[in-house]
Structure 1
Amino acid sequence: MSSPPAHPALSCAGLAFAWPDGTPVLDGLNLAVGPGRTGLVGRNGSGKSTLLKLLAGELAPTAGTVRAAGGVGHLPQDAALDTRLRVDEALGVAGTRAALHAIESGDVREEHFAAVGDDWDVEERARATLDRLGLDRIGLDRTTGEVSGGECVLLRLAALLLARPAVLLLDEPTNNLDRHARRRLYAAVDAWPGVLVVASHDRELLERVDRVAELRGGELTWYGGPYSAYEEAVAAEQEAAERTVRAAGSDVRRQRRELAEAQARLAKRRRYGEKQAANKVVPPIVAGGLKRAAQVSAGRHRAVHAERLDRARERLEEAVEAVRDDDAIRVELPHTAVPPGRDVLLLRDLELRHGARIDGEFEVRGPERIALVGRNGSGKSTLLRTIAGEVEPRAGEAAARVPLRFLPQRLDVLDDGLTVVENVARFAPGATPNRVRARLARFLFRGAEADRPAGTLSGGERFRATLAALLLAEPAPQLLMLDEPTNNLDAASVRSLVQALEGYEGALLVAGHDVPFLEAIGITRTLDMDALTSPRGAT
């Protein structure tokens, strides 16, 4: 375990935050981050995203202070862009670029020179930054509505790299990125010269950090080295904590036994004294004195042993609290068996809104498990949204033959103004309140957690609530479509999702870059979106 830096570039003291409904997130948190790369880890809902927003000044704390030596740039987890923006506007260089073009065309007003300043190579820098991130095909005059969710993340990152803040905060930056884009982002992280804090579940990204800060129970614990060193340290802590629990449990049992033995000895001594008095072996006055002395001694012995037992129980409770008991979601998918050969989905001569085509027919029959793969921008999300009926194709047909449910990448299914339980109830109006709450408990929304407004949820919590809403919906889906389902989940929750999908008897259509996850859920066919100009895209 390591200590925070002595001369931090980013710090907070006594930081506290609660949502408007009074739900506390952080209370009295202290943080100090120095130069280099810091990984921020923790369970879903532990407050990582909220902390980064507080550090970036996007949320106002209810108490405490935040200080940064220089500008702070923040890449949020939900890095969507206004689809009407031009790329140069998204990059923050539109004004400088317009002034530069005006000067080049002969308009030499002072305001244009002031707008350009020393940034005469702004276009070259912008294009070079886009090229570094694999976005060279995106022109500065295009609109962001033409780029994919993964490309939006990279555009937001490109804007930050161009702005060159002293402190860079990244929240789950590899969500929605294909393996090529991830490598580009890893390179940008490796090359970042300033202070960097990254909240992520991406092991490969976290192997690039210099230190790890774990947010748990509203407190930060520091560990030196990359994520693998953090895992080793936590495993050692866990092993030591479990040994302490076993030792403390043994001590409690020993103290109980010694207390029982002491009470038995005292009871035997008392019976012996009473027998002696009854037989008049000793004078009554002496017997009375012995009895009083025995009572005092018995009380003293009971108190000593009882105190030892209480202390042993306290040590056991402390030891148990030190053992991690991180919950994972318990996903129970509805029983929706689809017999082999049943028509589930038909795509015929389909041309998507952004240009990908499926010539001829592509059919899904029975409980098939199909992975949609391809680079960012290849049309995976657009295809799922087209099948779900959210967007119209340019041509052709996308016809689902069974009830379906779609878990979108951007998790925009929930109404932020409603509570979690109200959102879930909207999808299943026939379900009783107790049934809704029982289902939510399996997704770790228990008691007051289920009454939180959806707008206050973290990325992982929002995924859990959205998944609960879709799976409780009526009728139960026989085709389940998931768009990057592991983006916001911690490792334990990913394992639970895999276990649930292993038992699902309907058809699956999953878009994702998480190869281990796709392998774990038993994919039977792959649809390569990069090759979708002919039926050869399907394998």
Structure 2
Amino acid sequence: MPAITAIDLGWSTADGHPVFSHLNLSFCAERVGIVGRNGVGKTSLLRLLSGDRAPTAGRIIIDGTVAVLRQIVQVGAEDTIADLFGIADQLSVLRRAEAGLATESELAEADWTLEMRLVTALARTGLNADGATRLASLSGGERTRAALASAMFAQPDFLLLDEPTNNLDRGGRAALLDLLASWSGGAIIVSHDRELLERMDAIVELTSLGARRYGGNWSQYRARKAIERASAHHDLEVAQRQLGDIQRKAQQGVERKLRRDAAGSRKGARGDMPRILAGARKQRAENSGGEHARLAERQRSQAMAAAASAGERIERLETMMVSLASSGLAHGAAVLRLDKVTAGYCPDAPVLRDVSLSMTGPERVALIGPNGSGKTILLSVIAGRIVPWSGTVRHVERLAMLDQTAAMLDPALSVAENYQRINPGSDDFACRSALAQFRFKADAALKPVGALSGGEMLRAGLACTLASPLPPQLLILDEPTNHLDLDSIAAIEAALAAYDGALLVVSHDAAFLDAIGVTRYIDLAT
């Protein structure tokens, strides 16, 4: 039976920083969700299990074949789905065969089932495309579907998926859930998507304390986790109370001995007791005191060990507490106006055609629509990253956009250097104070952006955007919760709820849109 086994697994970054150690895990033909806070090593674990990265300690035994869903961030202008699948040359042979131009050796090696298998894989993810479709013409969600189809194409024993629902619209999410429900092999999935995690057979939680496996889905994991956490806190409270009692009794014993010694000294000084008897009593008192002291020390050591053991079961978590400066946007002020905007990637196939919309401050608007309807390209037009073919765009002077890949950040610079580049004039104290709100404290603020996990990178982008001394009056967010852990999402929701500027957001997370107070939805599919 195919299986993946990790034995005493450890991995450290290039500078020697340990990410995790002594992990022992096994996976078979089941659906397993990997969960944990950003930066704890989930993606690194997935890369180790796939063989893309070598462990710094321990070993991994892979019995079977593995395919990995890779997030497609940058593509060449001519890259096609066939290139993504690695079958461009084989399809070229079929085209030459159809034209009567193939050689005998090519005809002998031609795979005549290739196109049908390609069409089937794409159809299973709900993507209307073929091998010649250029990746640059696809939206982020459509690229995710293409990548998922590519991973399935080889019919592996194990699918390894890193945040597979990122960028997917409702149709794409439904297709993914249906695919996993019918998948007979193993699937190891890193995700913060609660709907997806509810479909799992088991959950592996990765924390600073190590990895622990829980049978069942997300709800069952959460229920079990709550019981464990309550038990650990109870045991810690009991141990600390016992330690306090022992230390208090020990102190009382010391004080009693001091009083007895003082009384004996006073008697001896008055000559009320023969010297030989006084000496014997003193010796017995010292022996008895020594016995009590040793017993108290043993009890104290045992209580401290019990408290430490209980404390080790509790992960120390640092929460995000975010407060924002005012944007100064007046109520009812004109924020954004688009008049008959047409734009796209190919001149003969516009994605947007004659789009008009307006926003006033401090309105909160969500752009919705299926993958490929033009949500991201519209945001890029508004932010000035793409020039429309026709129409006009007008907006307030202070505008900021954070996209799905945090492209505003320079990967060669540290988080602090990026903050000061994006917010010129900020001194080191202001920079450090702002970043600390987003859990980039001390050396974490000096870490190069290129070394951050996906969730950490999004958090850094949000820090550089939201924690500015003068926040934008219009904040544009393209799938801001992608890669963020659930605790970070809750903190960002609270921060955006307190933000007094205008928001234009693309997100497939309905709960997130509701939490940040979106009041208007614009459907680009209509």
SS at match of 2:525: helix
Give the Cα separation in 2 of the matches to 1:30 and 1:397.
Answer: 58
Check 1:23–1:323 CA distance in 2 against 1; reply closer, same or farther (3 A cut): closer
Check 1:152–1:83 CA distance in 2 against 1; reply closer, same or farther (3 A cut): farther
Shift of 1:134: 1.4
Shift of 1:324: 3.4
TM-score in terms of structure 2 length: 0.94
Alpha carbons 1:386, 1:393 under 8 Å: kept: yes
Shift of 1:23: 2.9
Alpha carbons 2:410, 2:449 under 8 Å: kept: yes
Shift of 1:210: 1.3
Q: Which amino acid aligns with 1:208?
A: R
Q: Is the deviation greater in 143-152 or in 103-112?
A: 103-112
Match of 1:144 in 2: 135
Give the one of 429, 436, 449 matched to 1:434: 429
SS at match of 1:530: coil
1:350 aligns with 2:355: no
Give the one of 28, 33, 49 matched to 1:34: 28
Give the Cα separation in 1 of the matches to 2:519 and 2:121.
Answer: 39
Give the one of 24, 28, 44 matched to 2:18: 24
Check 1:84–1:218 CA distance in 2 against 1; reply closer, same or farther (3 A cut): farther
Match of 1:155 in 2: 146
Alpha carbons 1:14, 1:29 under 8 Å: kept: yes
Shift of 1:81: 3.9
Give the Cα separation in 2 of the matches to 1:19 and 1:243.
Answer: 36
Q: Can you give the 5+ residue segments of structure 2 that lack an aligned partner in the other structure?
A: none
Shift of 1:78: 5.3
Give the one of 51, 68, 78 matched to 1:74: 68
1:123 aligns with 2:115: yes
Give the one of 177, 188, 196 matched to 2:168: 177
- Spell out, residue by residue over 1:65-107, the C-alpha distance to the aligned partner (whole angstroms, 9 max, x if none): 3332232211134555444212222233322222222223223
Match of 1:503 in 2: 498
Give the one of 264, 289, 299 matched to 1:273: 264
Give the Cα separation in 1 of the matches to 2:105 and 2:59.
Answer: 38
What does residue range 401-412 of structure 1 map to in structure 2 within 5 Å? 401-412=396-407
Give the Cα separation in 2 of the matches to 1:352 and 1:115.
Answer: 44
1:493 aligns with 2:508: no
Give the one of 405, 416, 419 matched to 2:414: 419
Q: Is the deviation greater in 462-471 or in 56-65?
A: 56-65
Match of 1:132 in 2: 124
Q: Is the deviation greater in 380-389 or in 83-92?
A: 83-92
Give the one of 31, 37, 40 matched to 1:43: 37
Check 1:54–1:82 CA distance in 2 against 1; reply closer, same or farther (3 A cut): farther
Match of 2:47 in 1: 53
Shift of 1:253: 2.2
Q: Is the deviation greater in 406-415 or in 510-519?
A: 406-415
Alpha carbons 1:8, 1:32 under 8 Å: kept: no
Q: Which amino acid aligns with 2:230?
A: E
- Spell out, residue by residue over 1:252-295, the C-alpha distance to the aligned partner (whole angstroms, 9 max, x if none): 22112211332233233223323432343320121122123213
Check 1:453–1:343 CA distance in 2 against 1; reply closer, same or farther (3 A cut): same
Shift of 1:483: 0.6
Match of 1:390 in 2: 385
Shift of 1:360: 7.2
SS at match of 2:101: coil
Give the one of 307, 310, 313 matched to 1:316: 307
Q: Which amino acid aligns with 2:208?
A: G
Check 1:323–1:25 CA distance in 2 against 1; reply closer, same or farther (3 A cut): closer
Give the one of 449, 456, 460 matched to 1:465: 460
Give the Cα separation in 1 of the matches to 2:34 and 2:108.
Answer: 40
Q: Is the deviation greater in 148-157 or in 82-91?
A: 82-91
1:256 aligns with 2:247: yes
Match of 2:96 in 1: 102
TM-score in terms of structure 1 length: 0.92
RMSD over aligned CA atoms reads: 2.1
1:371 aligns with 2:370: no
Shift of 1:353: 1.7
Identity %: 38
Give the Cα separation in 2 of the matches to 1:94 and 1:135.
Answer: 18
Give the Cα separation in 1 of the matches to 2:176 and 2:74.
Answer: 17
Q: Is the deviation greater in 154-163 or in 274-283?
A: 274-283
- Spell out, residue by residue over 1:292-312, the C-alpha distance to the aligned partner (whole angstroms, 9 max, x if none): 321332233233223323432
Alpha carbons 2:325, 2:470 under 8 Å: kept: no
Give the one of 326, 330, 333 matched to 1:339: 330
SS at match of 2:10: strand
Give the Cα separation in 2 of the matches to 1:447 and 1:401.
Answer: 35
Q: Which amino acid aligns with 1:191?
A: S
SS at match of 1:376: coil
Shift of 1:115: 4.0
Alpha carbons 1:39, 1:198 under 8 Å: kept: yes
